[in-house]
């Protein structure tokens, strides 16, 4: 379908990552326009546009910017702008395309954002595994600096902005903004307590704004076309377009830019090309591995925006990692695989998450390996409840929500696996025809548990 | 002063107080592992999660600053369940080796399990095993398996000693406390690591396996290791002292003490103690020794009397009164000064170069009597004295090469050059064996308390001097320690209005600055050559 391509418009242009091509496509034309505007006006435009953070939480970007204390309050402390390029949520791979295909768009967004919040030095914190993009980003930064778009007195406007690229060491948790700050500071990448919030006291205890790659890349278009134009796209509460990383059992996996509010069914059947031949839909994780899973019925009733997914399915748009699972998927295996990730990536700071993620993973391994009882599922659910929202950062909830939702929506499959194991049916036989086992009769005490 | 409510109990707390402390003032205990009043807030143990009345989600009390109208509840089913689940998470990979763990009896895991855990175990998974019995310093053994990753020790290294030696390594349930490869703890505050560790991960080598803590009784006292006067808890059983623990006093030592202070414990009942009175080389009882001393004092023409910076205020007061009432011709001296090498081991945190616990108290009393001679004057007078009476000070060791008095009487705790040279030797009590008071370097008058019975024939110095005064004709009036202190407080302007009982556990600050402690060191001995 033909949608406005705010973020991905230049991706198909050959050599789109070079400054020459980017400029030919119109990138950096908004810098001069923006730097001549007073910062407060820029913040107001972004506020009015309704742009929401694309990292997962969906917090209004303009409002976040406005939390930075003014010069009279912060004294001579500098303000930092950090671009969160630590994209490591399983199922999410949009930022890497943004940075690989069009790094200058994001840099342009950063220059504008920096001017809006009064920042002179910014950092792109990029995931350790994105080494190849790291090199490309530095090339882009050097090109931009040589062209007078970064550094002192940008384009003669008197605005200074220096940009650095910092390579992380490969930790999922460093995508959490306070952990990102810890890691950037040279500490172990662990989230910090809030308050104080980074906008007030972040990197090196100075006011700091952390924005996702996609969020920053959307800023130039908003400045050029105005808040109203952006707001005209998408829904009332979720305006604009968003990149979705589509993966799983679909014909055309990839990153798609669509307006928010687009039917999930259409995304699945039109953009993604539908399921593989002869398969039926079993489950969808709509926003990256951390969000609750959705059933086919929910998928067909839902639109791709923050509110619809939450009201219809109790799930979240998250970072837009759209993971499709068809009837060949063993959900026990799928959840075990997810928990292996969380058990490995927990930063180890808060007790419930540190001990609980590993514990949940081990229980799931036993379910997968046919050594579990129905009581283990009760424990599993209880552990997830005990972790959710009891920790410093959102990681605990991120690990708990898949478990809670899989057990809520696909409990039959877990019980069937346990039941079959108790009857001595080998694990391989379970996958063959899962439909039969959903709602398989089980002992009453177990069903009620 | 914001008013806050904890379980409907309203309390007024100073602005900036966190809710764990606020709840404590309301008499409500909020369990915690990572929170420590003298360290920064980490907020990672999650044990102090409480419900906020009208709030959306539970929050940790340690990072919640009291604000007007804030109301929390710690008695809801939700809070109970959260505490239970944190206990369960903490224990799921814990080795549960309590029977061989030295922390048993003072372990937060044990205590809180009984108070807030009490669940049926669901832990059937294999536990994560970590390195046990790691020798990480002269004083400390680390057992990573028992650790609850509260990071108190990490913060202690970062914020108190500034050594940054302990670190949390790895992630998830493989997180463990450790040192960088090949490194060891080097600072002399290691004992505190064992104290602040809420579980058995860091234990003190000196105390390990010495005694189960539930047998120990605790007496609040003050360390006699240096002029800082760290508040301590003397832990003892059946007359034997097993350890000093720092006792929190934010005006003096916060919650810390140095390892040198802890190392004094073996000396309390050690072979170096003076246990019997001795006159001219013969062991006698104290009564006979006092009789002999009385005779010699009466016959001596020139008498010198040395007040001690190791002695309590009461003992020095007793000696001062004894001289005033009975020995008008005697010359008083105050012996002060640092031991050789002590400046090198001092630091800016707690360890003072002056190893004497009561130098400031001595200076106060010395200033009452304008005629008290300095260490240097004592040095030059030493050879000309008929009899020198010394209270708890190693005068002979201090003034090597300055000649000897014709006769020497020594009231001493430990064996040293003076006790060896003494013609009349009378044992007096160690700090932990008597009541009394010291004045520390900042001018804080602090109580010491009797924890154990005196070793051998030792008697509190203020009491034995009362007896000596009686024999000389006029007792100093220091038969009761409180009376001695109160009489002294009346006479010393800086102690105006002080009362022995009112000193309490935290001590009282002098009304004026500490008088200048007679400065430096040992006078150059005439016989010394470069």
Residues B173, A351: C-beta atoms closer than 8 Å: no
Establish if B68 touches chain A: CB-CB under 8 angstroms. Answer: no
Confidence (pLDDT) at A61: 97
Residues A346, B168: C-beta atoms closer than 8 Å: no
Domain ranges, ordered by start, for chain B: 3-75, 92-268, 277-509
Confidence (pLDDT) at A445: 39
Q: Record the tokens describing residue A329, joined without a space.
A: 């998927």
Establish if A18 touches chain B: CB-CB under 8 angstroms. Answer: no
Sequence-ordered list of residues with C-beta below 8 angstroms from that of A228, at least 6 positions apart, any chain:
A48
Determine if the peptide bond prior to A195 is cis (ω within 30°). yes
Count of pairs with CB atoms under 8 A, one residue in A, one in B:
89
Confidence (pLDDT) at A426: 60
CB B145 within 8 A of CB B129: yes
Does residue A418 carry a pLDDT above 50?
yes
CB A126 within 8 A of CB A92: no
Does residue A436 carry a pLDDT above 70?
no
Q: By C-alpha distance, which of B234, B261, B275 is closest to B428?
A: B275
Domain ranges, ordered by start, for chain A: 19-231, 241-326, 331-447
Nearest CA in chain A to B43: A193
Q: How confident is the model at residue A389 (pLDDT cuts 50, 70, 90)?
A: very high
CATH number of A19-231: 3.40.50.11540
| Backbone φ, ψ for residue A304 (5° rounding) | -85, 75
Q: What share of chain A is helix, strand, coil (3-state, %, to 5)?
A: 50, 15, 35
* DSSP symbol at B459: B
Q: By C-alpha distance, which of B103, B108, B101, B6 is closest to B47?
A: B108
Q: Record the tokens describing residue B338, joined without a space.
A: 């640092």
Does residue A449 carry a pLDDT above 60?
no
Confidence (pLDDT) at B529: 36
Pick left, alpha or beta for residue A28 (phi over 0 → left; psi -120 to 50 → alpha; otherwise beta).
left
- For the segment A363-370, the average pLDDT, to the nearest whole number, is 94
Q: Quick count: other Cβ atoms within 10 Å of Cβ B135?
A: 10
Confidence (pLDDT) at B399: 87
CB A219 within 8 A of CB A109: yes
Nearest CA in chain B to A347: B171
* DSSP symbol at B418: H
CB B405 within 8 A of CB B383: yes
CA distance A246 to A319: 11
CA distance A383 to A353: 10
Establish if A193 touches chain B: CB-CB under 8 angstroms. Answer: yes
- For the segment A59-64, the average pLDDT, to the nearest whole number, is 96
pLDDT, tens only, A173-189: 999 999 999 999 999 99
Q: How far apart are the first and last CA of chain A?
A: 47
Residues A345, B90: C-beta atoms closer than 8 Å: no
pLDDT by residue for chain B (530 residues), tens only, comes to 899 999 999 999 999 999 999 999 999 999 999 999 999 999 999 999 999 999 999 999 999 999 999 999 999 999 999 999 999 999 999 999 999 999 999 999 999 999 999 999 998 999 999 999 999 999 999 999 999 999 999 999 999 999 999 999 999 999 999 999 999 999 999 999 999 999 999 999 999 999 999 999 999 999 999 999 999 999 999 999 999 999 999 999 999 999 999 999 999 988 899 999 999 999 999 999 999 999 999 999 999 999 999 999 999 999 999 999 999 989 999 987 777 667 777 899 999 988 999 999 999 998 887 778 988 899 999 889 999 999 998 999 888 888 889 999 999 999 999 999 999 999 999 999 999 999 999 999 999 999 999 999 999 999 999 999 999 999 999 999 999 999 999 999 999 999 999 999 999 999 876 665 554 444 433 333 33
Element at B4 (helix H, strand E):
strand B3-6
Q: Record the tokens describing residue A33, joined without a space.
A: 């326009």
Q: Record the tokens describing residue B63, joined without a space.
A: 């990072």
Q: Where are the alpha helices (DSSP H) in A118-199?
A: 131-146, 177-184
Q: By C-alpha distance, which of B306, B314, B332 is closest to B422?
A: B306
Mutation to test the A interface, candidates B78, B173, B174, B180, most A Cβ within 10 Å: B173
Average pLDDT, chain A: 92
- For residue A215, how far is the Cα from the chain centroid? 11
ipTM over 0.85: yes
CA distance B413 to B274: 6
Confidence (pLDDT) at B415: 95
A69 burial via Cβ count (<10 Å: 0-12, 13-18, 19+) = middle
Q: What pTM did the predictor assign? A: 0.91
Confidence (pLDDT) at B516: 58
Give SS3 for A274.
Answer: coil
Its CATH class, for the domain covering A331-447, is: mainly alpha
DSSP β-ladder status, B49-52 and B71-73: antiparallel
Residues B148, A351: C-beta atoms closer than 8 Å: yes
CB B308 within 8 A of CB B391: yes
Nearest CA in chain B to A341: B172
Chain B CB contacts of A346 under 8 Å are 171-173
Chain B CB contacts of A193 under 8 Å are 41-43, 63
The torsion angle over the Cα atoms of residues B343, B335, B391 and B333, rounded to 10 degrees, is: -170
Confidence (pLDDT) at B28: 97
CATH number of B92-268: 2.20.25.90
| Backbone φ, ψ for residue A34 (5° rounding) | -75, -40
Cα B214 to Cα A124, A175, B115, B369, distances in angstroms: 56, 47, 18, 48
Sequence-ordered list of residues with C-beta below 8 angstroms from that of B217, at least 6 positions apart, any chain:
B235, B236, B237, B451
Of A171, A351, A386, the CB nearest to B45: A351
Do you know the residue count of chain A? Answer: 449
Question: What number of H helices and E strands is found in chain A?
Answer: 21, 10
Confidence (pLDDT) at B525: 39
Domain B277-509 matching CATH 3.40.50.740: the answer reads: yes
Element at A212 (helix H, strand E):
strand A208-212
Nearest CA in chain A to B86: A352
Residues B44, A350: C-beta atoms closer than 8 Å: yes
Establish if B56 touches chain A: CB-CB under 8 angstroms. Answer: no
CATH topology of domain B3-75: Ubiquitin-like (UB roll) (3.10.20)
Give SS3 for A277.
Answer: coil
E runs forming strands in A216-341: 241-248, 254-259, 262-263, 281-285, 303-304, 321-326
CA distance A319 to A306: 11
Chain A CB contacts of B129 under 8 Å are none
Chain B CB contacts of A173 under 8 Å are 171
Residues A348, B172: C-beta atoms closer than 8 Å: yes
Q: How confident is the model at residue A42 (pLDDT cuts 50, 70, 90)?
A: very high
Q: Which CATH number fits domain A241-326: 3.10.20.600, 3.40.1800.10, 3.40.50.2020, 3.40.50.2000?
A: 3.10.20.600
Question: A83 pairs with which residues across the strands?
Answer: A124, A211
For chain B positions 87-106, those within 8 Å of chain A (CB to CB) are: 88-90, 92-93
A195 burial via Cβ count (<10 Å: 0-12, 13-18, 19+) = exposed
Long-range contacts: B395-404, Cβ < 8 Å, 24+?
B395/B306, B395/B335, B396/B420, B396/B421, B398/B335, B398/B337, B398/B522, B399/B375, B399/B522, B399/B523, B399/B525, B400/B522, B400/B525, B401/B525, B401/B526, B401/B527, B401/B528, B402/B523, B402/B525, B402/B526
3-state secondary structure labels for all residues of B209-267: CCCCHHHCEEEEEECCCCCCCCEEEEEEECCEEEEEEECCECCCCECCCCHHHHCCHHH
């Amino acid at each position: 379908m033909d949608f406005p391509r705010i973020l991905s418009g230049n991706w198909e242009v050959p050599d789109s990552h070079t400054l020459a091509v980017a400029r030919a496509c119109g990138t950096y034309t908004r810098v001069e326009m923006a730097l001549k505007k007073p910062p407060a006006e820029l913040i107001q435009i972004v506020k009015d546009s309704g742009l929401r953070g694309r990292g997962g939480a969906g917090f209004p970007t303009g409002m976040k910017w406005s939390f930075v204390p003014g010069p009279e309050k912060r004294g001579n402390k500098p303000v930092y702008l950090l671009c969160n390029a630590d994209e490591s949520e399983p199922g999410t791979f949009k930022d890497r395309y943004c940075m690989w295909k069009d790094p200058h768009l994001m840099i342009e967004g950063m220059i504008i954002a920096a001017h809006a919040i009064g920042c002179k030095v910014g950092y792109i914190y990029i995931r350790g595994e994105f080494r190849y993009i790291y090199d490309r980003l530095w090339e882009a930064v050097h090109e931009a600096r040589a062209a007078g778009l970064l550094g002192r007195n940008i384009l003669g406007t008197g605005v200074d902005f220096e940009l650095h690229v910092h390579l992380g060491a490969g930790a999922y948790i460093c995508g959490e903004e306070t952990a990102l700050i810890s890691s950037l500071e040279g500490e172990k990448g662990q989230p910090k307590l809030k308050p104080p919030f980074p906008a007030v006291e972040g990197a090196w205890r100075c006011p700091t704004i952390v924005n996702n790659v996609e969020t920053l890349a959307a800023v130039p278009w908003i400045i050029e076309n105005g808040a109203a134009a952006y707001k005209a796209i998408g829904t009332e509460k979720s305006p604009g377009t968003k990149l979705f990383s589509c993966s799983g059992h679909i014909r055309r996996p990839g990153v798609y830019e669509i307006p928010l509010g687009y039917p999930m069914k259409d995304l699945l059947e039109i953009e993604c090309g539908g399921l593989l031949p002869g398969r039926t839909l079993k489950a969808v994780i709509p926003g990256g591995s951390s969000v609750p899973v959705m059933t086919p019925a929910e998928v067909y009733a839902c639109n791709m925006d923050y509110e619809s997914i939450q009201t219809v399915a109790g799930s979240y748009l998250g970072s837009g990692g759209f993971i499709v699972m068809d009837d060949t998927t063993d959900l026990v295996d799928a959840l075990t695989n997810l928990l292996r990730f969380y058990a490995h990536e927990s930063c180890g700071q808060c007790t419930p998450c540190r001990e609980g993620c590993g514990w949940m993973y081990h229980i799931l391994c036993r379910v997968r390996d046919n050594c579990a009882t129905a009581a283990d599922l009760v424990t599993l659910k209880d552990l997830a409840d005990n972790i959710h929202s009891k920790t410093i950062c959102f990681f605990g909830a991120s690990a708990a929500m898949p478990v809670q939702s899989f057990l809520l929506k696909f409990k039959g499959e877990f019980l069937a696996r346990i039941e079959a194991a108790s009857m001595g049916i080998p694990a391989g036989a379970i996958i063959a025809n899962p439909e039969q086992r959903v709602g398989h009769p089980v002992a009453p005490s177990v069903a009620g548990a | 002063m914001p008013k806050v409510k904890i379980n409907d109990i309203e309390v007024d707390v100073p602005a900036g107080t966190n809710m764990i402390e606020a709840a404590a003032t309301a008499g409500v205990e909020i369990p915690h592992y990572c929170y420590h009043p003298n360290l920064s807030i980490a907020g990672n143990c999650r044990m102090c999660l409480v419900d906020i009345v009208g709030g959306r989600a539970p929050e940790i009390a340690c990072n919640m600053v009291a604000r007007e109208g804030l109301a929390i509840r710690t008695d809801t089913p939700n809070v109970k369940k959260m505490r239970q689940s944190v206990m369960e998470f903490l224990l799921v990979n814990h080795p549960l080796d309590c029977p061989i763990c030295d922390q048993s009896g003072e372990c937060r895991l044990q205590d809180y399990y009984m108070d807030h855990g009490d669940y049926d175990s669901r832990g059937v998974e294999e536990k994560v095993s970590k390195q046990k019995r790691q020798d990480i310093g002269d004083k400390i053994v680390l057992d990573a398996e028992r650790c609850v990753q509260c990071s108190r020790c990490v913060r202690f290294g970062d914020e108190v000693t500034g050594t940054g030696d302990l670190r949390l390594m790895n992630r998830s349930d493989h997180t463990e406390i450790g040192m960088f490869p090949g490194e060891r703890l080097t600072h002399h505050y290691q004992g505190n690591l064992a104290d602040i560790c809420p579980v058995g991960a860091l234990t003190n080598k000196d105390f390990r396996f010495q005694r189960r803590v539930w047998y120990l009784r605790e007496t609040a006292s003050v360390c006699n290791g240096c002029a800082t006067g760290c508040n301590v808890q003397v832990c003892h059983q059946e007359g034997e002292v097993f350890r000093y623990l720092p006792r929190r006093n934010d005006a003096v030592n916060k919650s810390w003490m140095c390892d040198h202070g802890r190392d004094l414990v073996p000396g309390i009942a050690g072979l170096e103690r003076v246990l019997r009175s001795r006159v001219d080389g013969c062991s006698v009882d104290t009564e006979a020794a006092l009789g002999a001393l009385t005779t010699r004092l009466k016959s001596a023409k020139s008498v010198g009397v040395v007040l001690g910076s190791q002695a309590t205020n009461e003992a020095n007061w007793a000696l001062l009164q004894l001289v005033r009432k009975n020995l008008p011709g005697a010359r008083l001296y105050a012996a002060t000064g640092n031991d050789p090498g002590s400046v090198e081991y001092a630091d800016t945190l707690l360890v003072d170069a002056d190893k004497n616990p009561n130098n400031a108290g001595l200076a106060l009393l010395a200033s009452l009597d304008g005629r008290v001679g300095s260490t240097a004057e004592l040095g030059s007078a030493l050879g000309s004295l008929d009899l020198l009476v010394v209270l708890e000070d190693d005068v002979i060791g201090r003034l090597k090469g300055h000649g000897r008095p014709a006769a020497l009487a020594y009231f001493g705790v430990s064996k040293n050059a003076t006790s060896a040279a003494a013609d009349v030797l009378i044992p007096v009590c160690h700090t932990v064996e008597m009541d009394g008071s010291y004045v520390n370097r900042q001018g804080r008058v602090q109580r010491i308390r009797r924890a154990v019975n005196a070793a051998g024939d030792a008697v509190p110095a203020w009491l034995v001097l009362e007896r000596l005064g009686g024999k000389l004709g006029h007792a100093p009036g220091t038969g009761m320690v409180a009376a001695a202190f109160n009489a002294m407080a009346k006479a010393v302007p800086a102690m105006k209005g002080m009362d022995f009982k009112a000193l309490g556990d935290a001590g009282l600050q002098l009304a004026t600055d500490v008088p200048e402690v007679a400065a430096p060191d040992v006078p150059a001995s005439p016989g010394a050559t470069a």
